[in-house]
Amino acid sequence: MATTNRESCCVTDCIARVTATCVGCPQVFYCHEHYLKHREDLGRQLEILANERDGLMHKIEQQKAEPQQHALMKKIDEWERDSIAKIQQVAKEAKQILLSHIAKFFPRVEQRLSPLTDELRQKPNMNYFVDTDLTKWKQELEQLKTLLDNPPDLKVQQDSTPLVTKIQVKITSSLLLIRDYDYISVYDAQRKRSLNGDHRIIRTLERLLNIDPTKYKFKLA
């Protein structure tokens, strides 16, 4: 609070004599009544700020207990869900295409297997087969197995374009430092002023900073 030589209060429609200015807004001049109202308004704003601070502290404690609930962690969870959904959708479409073509391919393999089946059924009954026959049948059978697993006109391969983008956690700076000393400076200033008996701001600051006023020592200006 500071006195001034200005004659009238700057508040609209107020013609009372100026008695004070506020350090935070020195260009505005107040009469005694409006100065007290101004201080009350500042006190309410500080109390709101303190309540928001308490809410933030509560949120911090909750997230310390359950770090998986952090907002950034939820972003990773969302990316994971979206990526899985994209992969599942593409896999589903690819399977549908493959199944329709494989269904047409089976008869071709069966057709090539039919002569071998006939030979295996006939020659053993006639006792008319030799070592070379067994070797030939084994080779034909292996070729058909390979053909079944690897159709010449069907391939499953990955596209060079990534289906999902890689997620990264980038750390660009050190942890945020809470500047309690700024609040303490305000507290010191408020305690050193009488504030016309208005102690609400002081009490709010004590709650904000967890200060015990009976043990607190003022900092030197």
Percent of the chain with pLDDT over 90: 12
Average pLDDT on 28-41 reads: 80
The per-residue pLDDT for 7 is: 63
The per-residue pLDDT for 125 is: 66
**How far apart are alpha carbons 198 and 193 in whole angstroms?**
10
- Helix pair 32-65, 200-209: axis angle to 10 deg: 20
55 and 36 in contact (C-beta within 8 Å)? Answer: no
pLDDT above 80: residue 107: yes
167 and 8 in contact (C-beta within 8 Å)? Answer: no
List of E strands, 50-193: none
Task: DSSP for 64-75, please give it.
Answer: HH-GGGSHHHHH
Other CB atoms within a 10 A radius of the CB of residue 168 amount to 5
**How far apart are alpha carbons 170 and 168 in whole angstroms?**
6
**Domain boundaries along the sequence of the chain:** 70-149
Smallest CA-to-CA distance from 102 within 158, 149, 146, 144 is with 149
Task: DSSP for 187-212, please give it.
Answer: HHHHHHS-GGG--HHHHHHHHHHT--
Smallest CA-to-CA distance from 219 within 178, 183, 184 is with 184
The per-residue pLDDT for 207 is: 63
Report pLDDT digits (tens) over 36-67. Answer: 888 888 888 888 988 888 888 888 888 888 88
The per-residue pLDDT for 205 is: 59
Report pLDDT digits (tens) over 130-139. Answer: 788 888 889 9
The per-residue pLDDT for 66 is: 85
Q: Which two tokens stand for residue 12?
A: 């609209």
The per-residue pLDDT for 177 is: 42
Q: Which two tokens stand for residue 194?
A: 């009488």
Model's pTM, two decimal places?
Answer: 0.52
Report pLDDT digits (tens) over 73-93. Answer: 899 999 999 999 999 999 999
**How far apart are alpha carbons 180 and 196 in whole angstroms?**
26
pLDDT above 80: residue 97: yes
The per-residue pLDDT for 79 is: 93
Tell me how many degrees the CA angle 102-134-122 measures, rounded to the nearest 5. 80
Show Cβ contacts of residue 167 under 8 Å, excluding neighbours closer than 6 positions: 76, 79
Report pLDDT digits (tens) over 173-204. Answer: 544 444 444 455 554 555 555 444 455 555 66
The per-residue pLDDT for 128 is: 73
